[in-house]
Amino acid sequence: MAYRSANKRSKALRISLYAFIIINILYLFGSVKEISSYSGFPKNAVPSADEVLSASFLTSLSAVLYLICFIVTIILWCLWIRRTYQNLYAMGIQGLRQTPGWTVGWYFIPVALIWKPYEGMKDAWNACSVSAPPSGTSLQKLAAPSIIKIWWMLWVFSSILSRSSSRFESRAHTAGELTSAAVIAIINALVDIVLTIVAIQLVKKLTERQEEKYHSLAPQPASIPETETSSSFTFKQPETNNAGSDFG
């Protein structure tokens, strides 16, 4: 297995994540508009279908864009993390707990997805350290950096909040319930934005660490021994014989 840089996949993923932030901001504005629209109703009033459609037009549009961007981002994330792990094996890193295939697969297995992706990301980060770990310390025992801990806690919290928001929104009928659902949606969008910013930094830094690790392991060109310096070199003018000159 040969080393193949993950730079291009990293850049594509980060572009998708930036788009994700923009869509979440759009969703924020839509949710604020919903709250404003329902503020004129009594809390127990049930808005008509047309009124709900008018109030939620922007959030509905951003929800469609969100779904499309979410699918694209998942695909790009899987391609990036798989390439990252392929490169770890190509560099001969020992002590990895996951294969390139399973580092993707764990994201789709219930219960295991709570900690396995975190475990894989932690190992990848520590494996890309240019400096060797202390003698006798295995890769698994190394601590995770703060950025991975923050990313994972936000990811878990966002997943729980997203499910709660969807469940609450599906049961909302009165103006008061719809307003509460919009407030939860705003909180969810804000968490998603922070999570995405952290994810962008994580992807960028991990890819950079891997490139540095690869170049530190690559064989360096042999140094050329110094020869006589120009100061000790004497240039001798060739002796000429006018009689035997070719131009004579």
Please give the Cα distance from 117 to 119 (Å, whole number): 5
Q: Looking at residues 132-155, what average pLDDT do you find?
A: 82
Take residue 146 and report the two structure tokens written for it: 């703060």
Q: How far is CA 160 from CA 87, 239, 245, in A?
A: 33, 91, 95
Take residue 117 and report the two structure tokens written for it: 């992706």
Cβ proximity of 175 and 191 under 8 Å: no
User: pTM for this structure?
Assistant: 0.83
Which pLDDT score, from 0 to 100, does residue 134 have? Answer: 54
DSSP class of residue 111?
T
Which pLDDT score, from 0 to 100, does residue 109 have? Answer: 94
User: Above 60 in pLDDT, residue 220?
Assistant: no
**Percent of the chain at pLDDT above 90?**
66
Please give the Cα distance from 187 to 195 (Å, whole number): 12
Lowest mean pLDDT among 121-130, 184-193, 204-213, 220-229: 220-229
Take residue 176 and report the two structure tokens written for it: 């008061």
Q: How far is CA 125 from CA 26, 84, 148, 168, 212, in A?
A: 33, 10, 9, 37, 12
- How many Cβ atoms from other residues are within 10 Å of residue 192's Cβ? 22
Average pLDDT taken over every residue of the chain: 86
Which pLDDT score, from 0 to 100, does residue 1 have? Answer: 76
Cβ proximity of 7 and 83 under 8 Å: no
Cβ-Cβ contacts under 8 Å for 106 (sequence gap 6 or more):
98, 112, 113, 116, 117, 120
Q: Please state the φ and ψ torsions of residue 207, each to the nearest 5 degrees.
A: -65, -40
Cβ-Cβ contacts under 8 Å for 60 (sequence gap 6 or more):
30, 53
| Locus of tokens 């694209």 | 72
104-117 pLDDT tens trace: 999 999 989 889 99
Cβ proximity of 98 and 85 under 8 Å: yes
Which pLDDT score, from 0 to 100, does residue 141 have? Answer: 82
Cβ proximity of 29 and 186 under 8 Å: no
Closest listed residue to residue 10, CA positions, set 178, 139, 128: 128
56-65 pLDDT tens trace: 999 999 999 9
Which pLDDT score, from 0 to 100, does residue 133 have? Answer: 61
3-19 pLDDT tens trace: 999 999 999 999 999 99
Cβ-Cβ contacts under 8 Å for 6 (sequence gap 6 or more):
80, 83, 84, 87, 207, 210
34 pLDDT tier (thresholds 50, 70, 90): very high
